[in-house]
Structure 1
Amino acid sequence: MIKGIEIRDAHFPGRAPIDAYGNGGFRFADMSHRGSILCLPSGIHGWIPKTPPILGLDDLTLVLEQASDIEILLVGTGMDLRRLPEDVRAVLREHRISADPMSTGAAVRTYNVLLAEDRAVAAALIAVD
């Protein structure tokens, strides 16, 4: 019997700075990923937000699962700054996570600085062209 190709969720099992962004993806750890990503304590995960750039609670399931290890969530909302819906902000506050929405470029730069300082930071980064 021939075994088929197994498709797995994109996941880099470590914390790494983002080396570049644009053209619909990101470069990190000598690799590239096409599409949006979540940078979490468990690693960097491929991520498909349901209605970008507006995020809902369903988009942040992995973030909430790791909430005990996250103090700051940087949200890269694409080219333009978009506010997080109040229900999302309220749930993040309940988990003691400070959420800071900003353009994806600003979120990448801030994430890299906070990661270098060994802060409890995570990022939800919507890919930009």
Structure 2
Amino acid sequence: MHIYEFGPHQGKKIDRFDSKGLTVTGLLGSSGDTHLVCMHIEAGGTVGRHDATIEQLFMVVSGEGWVSGADGRRVPIRAGQAAFWESGESHASGSKVGMTVIVAESERLNLRLPQTPNAESEAAEVSTKEE
């Protein structure tokens, strides 16, 4: 057995796409196109809007925040929930209180998760305009 660390002190500060308060730690890659990273988004931090180069699954493991897709509407997200973006989809995320996220990226992700039925109604609770 081996033990690894992937806390924010192990990662790299990222400011690409005007991101703020974002630290990313690479977790794994493959000989193909699959990648797994851990994102630490500080309180008040954001991952700036950009297009997904391949499919992405954004899995919140602690904290809470918001995510948005192509329409720019912010939808709340919390620990135990995940957002999925298709290849080419414009997206952004952020948090007022901070959140830790595992992101899986691949040309083709075969999701086995049930979709949250009330995600659309929760969107009304968050500002509809990105700042």
Q: What TM-score do the two structures reach when normalised by structure 2?
A: 0.28
Higher RCO, 1 or 2 (CA under 8 Å, sep at least 6)?
A: 1
Bigger fraction of residues in strand: 2
Normalising by structure 1, what TM-score? Answer: 0.29
> Greater share of helix residues, 1 or 2?
1
